[in-house]
């Protein structure tokens, strides 16, 4: 699945020796920024780890450390895994990037995968998904389901990845509902269920009847269920948490990527590089519609998903203006990856400013 994608990136030419047939199982470590819960960011990476175990069996020995804060604690845990003989370590959180790079300098024979990071090194690869593609599709569904024309968005940190999601969601909504507005609450945290819930409740008190989020728990979905509102699930299918609330889920699929990278470490073909895959590569999928979503809306979203996969539809196609009236992209122009990855504004239709 990822061979074609990998061929398009400029990978550093660093490879590692093939393990002998009699070698012990490859020790693979995973570091998680939050606890493993029923659904959410960490759950999807844990499912990826399990996929590695299922695919490779006795050839690998995987382990994980959960609920590791970004910063000094992350460096300590990553270093401990390297010292314990893990020769491939996945660090899936943006704030793990610098600690990963620091540890990698001291362990040149250990391979690291900085998931959501953007800095590579001879023994550090990066990977991320085009979450914005799923956000655009979810916006279409939300735009069809809203009655107030006001959506909410509970956001983590104002990094490009999150801004991409807010903007794509808004553009998707307004592609089918030009009157739609999106209100954003910034948490400056990835996982804080009580505050996620409070933010959602605050937005529901401001005419919001559909809500999206870029945080790590099911708290926003649960709040929507309690208030009789609707929500877009992120990371995982959250219909158990919000059986009546879920509109659609934007799910992250890490199993195939993780398995491919572990196989590469096993056969000696692992190289540093940068992967950024989306709907076409199977890293992002939109589906798991709630029971309240009409078949016509489901079909519309799935049709647009096929168009994104084929390249016919790009969420960031001009004209695009920011919410201060400045033109950001000319009519019919398509944003480059470099422009998307450095995004630092909010599009027209979003109320408020990017938090600093």
Question: Which residue do the tokens 């408020």 mark?
Answer: 352
The string of DSSP letters for 84-153 reads: TT-SEEE--SGGGHHHHHHHHHH-TTSEEEEET----BTTEEEEEE-HHHHHHHHHHHHHHH-SSSEEEE
Handedness of CA 129, 42, 172, 294 (dihedral sign): positive
Beta bridge partners of 61: 27
Check residue 356 and give its pLDDT: 64
| pLDDT grade for 59, boundaries at 50, 70 and 90 | very high
Q: What 3-state class would DSSP assign to 246?
A: strand
Question: Which residue do the tokens 């699930």 mark?
Answer: 233
Nearest to 90 by CA among 81, 215, 190: 81
Check residue 39 and give its pLDDT: 85
Give the count of beta carbons closer than 10 Å to the beta carbon of residue 318: 14
Q: Where do the structural domains in the chain lie, given as residue ranges? A: 3-129+253-277, 131-251+284-337
Which fold does the domain 3-129+253-277 belong to in CATH?
Rossmann fold (3.40.50)
Q: SS3 helix, strand, coil % of the chain, rounded to 5?
A: 40, 20, 40
User: Is residue 110 over pLDDT 60?
Assistant: yes
Question: Which residue do the tokens 């599009």 mark?
Answer: 347
| pLDDT grade for 9, boundaries at 50, 70 and 90 | very low
Check residue 37 and give its pLDDT: 86
Which fold does the domain 131-251+284-337 belong to in CATH?
Rossmann fold (3.40.50)
Mean pLDDT of 29-48: 93
- Residues 6+ positions from 14 with CB-CB distance below 8 Å: 122, 123, 271, 272
User: Is residue 22 over pLDDT 50?
Assistant: no
| pLDDT grade for 354, boundaries at 50, 70 and 90 | confident
Check residue 313 and give its pLDDT: 98
Mean pLDDT of the residues in the chain:
93
């Amino acid at each position: 699945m990822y061979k074609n994608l990998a061929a398009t990136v400029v990978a550093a030419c660093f490879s590692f020796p093939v393990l002998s047939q009699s070698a012990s199982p490859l020790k693979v470590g995973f570091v998680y920024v939050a606890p493993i819960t029923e659904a959410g960011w960490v759950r999807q990476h844990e499912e990826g780890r399990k996929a590695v175990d299922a695919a490779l069996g006795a050839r690998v020995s995987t382990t994980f450390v959960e609920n590791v804060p970004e910063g000094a604690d992350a460096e300590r845990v990553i270093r401990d895994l390297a010292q314990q003989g893990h020769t491939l370590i996945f660090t899936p959180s943006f704030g793990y990037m610098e600690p990963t790079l620091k540890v990698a300098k001291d362990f040149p024979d250990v391979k690291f995968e900085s998931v959501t990071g953007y800095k590579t090194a001879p023994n550090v690869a990066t990977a991320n998904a085009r979450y914005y593609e799923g956000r655009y599709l979810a916006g279409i569904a939300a735009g069809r389901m809203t009655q107030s024309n006001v959506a909410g968005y509970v956001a983590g940190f104002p990094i490009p990845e999150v801004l991409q999601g807010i903007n794509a969601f808004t553009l998707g909504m307004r592609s089918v509902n030009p009157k739609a507005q999106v209100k954003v609450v910034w948490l400056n945290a990835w996982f804080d269920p009580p505050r996620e819930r409070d933010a959602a409740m605050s937005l529901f008190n401001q005419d919001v009847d559909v809500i999206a989020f870029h945080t790590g728990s099911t708290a926003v979905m649960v709040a929507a269920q309690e208030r009789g509102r609707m929500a877009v699930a992120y990371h995982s299918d959250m219909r158990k948490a919000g059986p009546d609330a879920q509109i659609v889920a934007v799910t992250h699929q890490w199993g195939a990527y993780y398995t491919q990278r572990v196989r590469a470490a096993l056969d000696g073909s692992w190289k540093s590089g940068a992967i950024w895959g989306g709907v076409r590569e199977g890293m992002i999928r939109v589906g798991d519609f709630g029971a309240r979503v009409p078949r016509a809306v489901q079909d519309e979203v799935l049709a647009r998903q096929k168009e994104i996969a084929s390249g016919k539809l790009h969420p960031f196609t001009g004209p695009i203006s920011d919410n201060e009236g400045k033109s950001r992209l000319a009519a019919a122009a398509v944003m480059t990856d470099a422009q998307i990855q450095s995004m630092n504004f909010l599009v027209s239709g979003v109320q408020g400013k990017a938090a600093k």
